[in-house]
Amino acid sequence: MREALAVLRARVQLAPDATLRAATTWYRNAMHRLDVQGHALRYAFARERVDAYRAEGIPLREALARTSMDLGHGDGRGRWVKMGYLR
């Protein structure tokens, strides 16, 4: 959470107020206006990351674990990322 607030304070144009609540409200409203589901962005990011790791020659299991870490989860060996990735 500290990192998110630091980004907000450094880049005020992201949200009118540098509080987590204001940023959350701004994000939800922006996604609603764009008709984008928030988790759809995470799925797209995860898929791109796994594909990029695989293009570097990293085995699928390790690519999934790394992507899980990129998403802010523990590596968990990529169990949750795998569920979304292999859909």
pLDDT of residue 52: 96
pLDDT < 50: residue spans in the chain:
none
Name the residue among 5, 21, 78, 71 with its Cα closest to residue 44: 71
| pLDDT, tens digit, 9 for 90 and up, residues 50-75 | 999 999 999 998 998 899 888 888 76
pLDDT of residue 5: 67
pLDDT of residue 17: 60
Percentage of the residues of the chain whose pLDDT score is greater than 70: 69
pLDDT of residue 42: 82
Name the residue among 41, 66, 42 with its Cα closest to residue 53: 66
